[in-house]
Amino acid sequence: MHDNEVSALNTMKCQTADAKKLCIYDIGLKLKSPGQYDIGGTYTADQPDLWFFYVTSVCPGYNYLLNLFLCHRKSGIVSLGISNGDELTHQIINDVDNSSLLSDTLTWQTLNAIQPNGKSFVKTFCFSEADVSKMNHNTLVIPVAIQMDPKRLKTDVVTNRIKLQHDLGDMLLKQEKTDFIIKTPSQKEYKTHKIVLAAHSSVLRNMIKSLKENIMFIDITDNDLELLLEFLYTGTVKDIMKRNCLHLLEIAEQFQLKNLILLTKHAINKQKNSL
């Protein structure tokens, strides 16, 4: 056990400025048992700053999702660096103390809490059945770095918080390795990725589960679907201030996209203030 580890077993109160990794024990078992689990917290001296937790779920095709969240123990801005990928390196130590390590290359995001105990979504990691089979009792190590209340971070915190750190926009544009088709009333077909749709919208996930084929009809316009896909793949909507944000909000609510709801409400407020 090291001082820079955030884990359920670390009784030494990992200092926020020193935190380098999140450690999740028996990760394979927890990925196979969907639910919410705690990781641990960070502190400044004896005062709590952050608490990390995660929710596991299983998507069609035996893709296992780990949705990472944090709870802000006090209000303020946090700059969080988090591992930028899903690829694993397995480290065999002995029969019981093995680790599965994610990339130590970090992507950064800004998270804001207006009030104490506010919660922020951080990132979704996706693992295959082959991955899970190799790490039943392993400890998953997620590299991190944390800066509390960085002075250089000023405006548009909400927008920065919502943007996904793994921009999949190029994948959508290039139509790489698509496995699912969405059809609109115009009969236009959009090639997509089932895992992306299911990971970010419970509505789409339930629709996909009810299907026997890899094609789905959605009764919305081509333009609305393209905006929806843009958000699902990139975490944002380009030139959102020029959009009909009230209509975009309706789309977000229809598909229960909490982050898009926050993003559009933020844009609507900015539009009102500019009048």
CATH of the domain at 55: 2.60.210
Is residue 157 a part of any domain in this protein? no
**Residues 124-130, mean pLDDT to the nearest whole number:** 90
Report residue 172: phi and psi, to 5°: -65, -45
Tokens standing for residue 63: 């893709």
pLDDT score, position 199: 81
Q: Indicate the SS3 state at residue 78.
A: strand
On whether both 130 and 192 belong to a single domain, the answer is no
- The pLDDT-based confidence of 164 (bands split at 50, 70, 90) is very low
Last residue of a domain, one of 100, 122, 151: 151
On whether both 89 and 57 belong to a single domain, the answer is yes
Whether residue 239 has pLDDT greater than 70: yes
pLDDT digits (tens, 9 = 90+) for 179-223: 899 999 999 999 988 888 888 888 999 899 888 899 999 999 999
Q: What are the angstrom distances between the C-alpha of 29 and each of 37, 93, 123, 244?
A: 12, 19, 20, 45
Tokens standing for residue 27: 């990760």
Is residue 195 a part of any domain in this protein? yes
> Which residues make Cβ contacts (< 8 Å) with residue 155, sequence separation at least 6?
none
pLDDT score, position 275: 62
**How far apart, in whole angstroms, are the C-alpha atoms of residue 197 and residue 189?**
15
Beta strand 139-148 with 76-83: parallel, antiparallel or unpaired? antiparallel
CATH of the domain at 267: 3.30.710.10
**How far apart, in whole angstroms, are the C-alpha atoms of residue 255 and residue 257?**
6
On whether both 116 and 197 belong to a single domain, the answer is no
pLDDT score, position 172: 61
**How far apart, in whole angstroms, are the C-alpha atoms of residue 142 and residue 106?**
10
Is residue 162 a part of any domain in this protein? no
Q: Specify which of 96-100, 113-117, 130-134 reaches the highest per-range mean pLDDT.
A: 130-134
Tokens standing for residue 174: 């290039």
What's the CA angle centered on 141, arms 157 and 56, to 5 degrees? Answer: 70
**Residues 16-21, mean pLDDT to the nearest whole number:** 95
pLDDT score, position 263: 83
**Residues 155-162, mean pLDDT to the nearest whole number:** 46
- The pLDDT-based confidence of 269 (bands split at 50, 70, 90) is confident
Q: Indicate the SS3 state at residue 105.
A: coil
**How far apart, in whole angstroms, are the C-alpha atoms of residue 39 and residue 23?**
7
Is residue 161 a part of any domain in this protein? no
- Domain region containing 180: 169-273
Number of separate domains in the chain: 2
Q: What are the angstrom distances between the C-alpha of 37 and each of 14, 89, 205?
A: 19, 23, 22
Q: Indicate the SS3 state at residue 242.
A: helix
pLDDT score, position 170: 59
On whether both 62 and 107 belong to a single domain, the answer is yes
Alpha helix (H) residue ranges in the chain: 27-32, 129-133, 157-162, 169-174, 194-200, 202-209, 222-234, 245-254, 258-273
Q: What are the angstrom distances between the C-alpha of 38 and each of 46, 99, 160, 270?
A: 20, 18, 25, 36
Q: Of the given ranges (130-134, 154-158, 170-174, 239-243), which has the lowest mean pLDDT?
A: 154-158
pLDDT score, position 177: 75
**Residues 163-178, mean pLDDT to the nearest whole number:** 58
**How far apart, in whole angstroms, are the C-alpha atoms of residue 41 and residue 53?**
9
Q: What is the pTM of this model?
A: 0.57
- The per-residue pLDDT of the chain, averaged, comes to 84
On whether both 119 and 189 belong to a single domain, the answer is no
Is residue 158 a part of any domain in this protein? no
Q: Indicate the SS3 state at residue 88.
A: strand
Comparing 157 with 45, the larger pLDDT belongs to 45
Choose among 223, 235, 232, 244: nearest CA to 263: 235
Cα 205 from chain centre:
16
On whether both 35 and 144 belong to a single domain, the answer is yes
On whether both 15 and 147 belong to a single domain, the answer is yes
**Residues 41-57, mean pLDDT to the nearest whole number:** 93
- The pLDDT-based confidence of 162 (bands split at 50, 70, 90) is very low
Whether residue 97 has pLDDT greater than 50: yes
pLDDT digits (tens, 9 = 90+) for 58-90: 887 788 999 899 999 988 888 899 999 888 988
